[in-house]
Structures are given as structure tokens and as C-alpha cells.
Amino acid sequence: MDRRHLLKSSLGGAAALTFWALGAGEAAAYPFSLTDAQWRKRLSPLAYNVLRKHATEHPFTSPLNKEHRPGIFKCAGCGQGLFDAKTKFDSGTGWPSFWAPLPRAVGTSRDFSLVYPRIEVHCARCGGHLGHVFDDGPRPTGKRYCMNGVALSFSAA
């Protein structure tokens, strides 16, 4: 059952659609934008589903989990720098995790896809879905930016 069907059946008509629309975060305009066809051509099917359709890759499948060289993790959609490798840590979750993004690199929005609210992280340049941020990370921020590896690329320093 998809999110829209679930909400329509459990919350009722207009209220459910309003709730769904507010959680979707799809109305924002971004400096870098492509048509759906251009995104599909530019990205692998899995990267498209994660970045453009808010899917999640399976844990422990990304080669970026084992990337420990100095460098910058970038958005796989538009190439914007997102995280310095210095902020990467092993969270044990199976997804690349960071305790802080680069300045003005990411945005956040509420995500109700699991019914309870989470904070979605998206690329500030193209709006691509990257993952979620949680309050159980290490110092100095206490944040865990849990990112889909397929939504990222890496450029070594």
C-alpha cells in the first residue's frame, strides 16, 4: 500500500491529501533542475528511485561505507559538495553517516512516509533525497546524517 492510499483510508479525503502534500516536500524550486526524463537519463535506476522518488537503498550495499580517504562527498544528482570526509563516521547502520554537512549544502523537511515524523535531508541545489538526520550522532554536533550511498559520489582530495 502506498503512502497516499494509506493516508486516504486512515485519515479521510482532503485532510489526508493535505497531510501527504505537506510531508512530500516536492513543491520547492531549486537552482539546478531537470525534467523527469533528463533525471532518468542522468541517473542509474536505483539512484533515480532514491534521489527523485525518496526510496532507500539496502543497508551495507554502498561501497562508500568503506571510503575513508580525505575528500568531499557530493550529490550524485548535481555534483554539489555535501559532506567533508572529516565528518564521516561508522554509525553501524549500514549507510554512510556524517556528523555535519558542508555550509548551505543540504536542506531538511519533515517526512511522514513512516507515519511518524522524521527529518529528511535533501540536496540544497537540486532537491535530491539523500537520507535522514537523527539526534544520536557523535560530538561535536550530536547529529547523524544517515545518507543513501547511491545518492552520493566521492571526490578524493
Which residues are annotated as catalytic?
Answer: 146
83 forms beta bridges with: 73
End-to-end CA distance of the chain: 44
Q: State the DSSP H helix or E strand holding residue 47, giving kind and residue range, or none if neither.
A: helix 45-53
Radius of gyration over every alpha carbon of the chain, rounded to an integer in angstroms: 16
Q: Which residues in the chain belong to E strands, given as ranges?
A: 71-75, 81-84, 88-89, 97-98, 106-114, 116-123, 129-134, 144-147, 152-156
CB atoms within 10 A of CB 99: 20
Find where cell 522518488 sits.
Answer: 53
Q: Which amino acid is at 81?
A: G
CB-CB contact of 99 with 84 (8 Å)? no
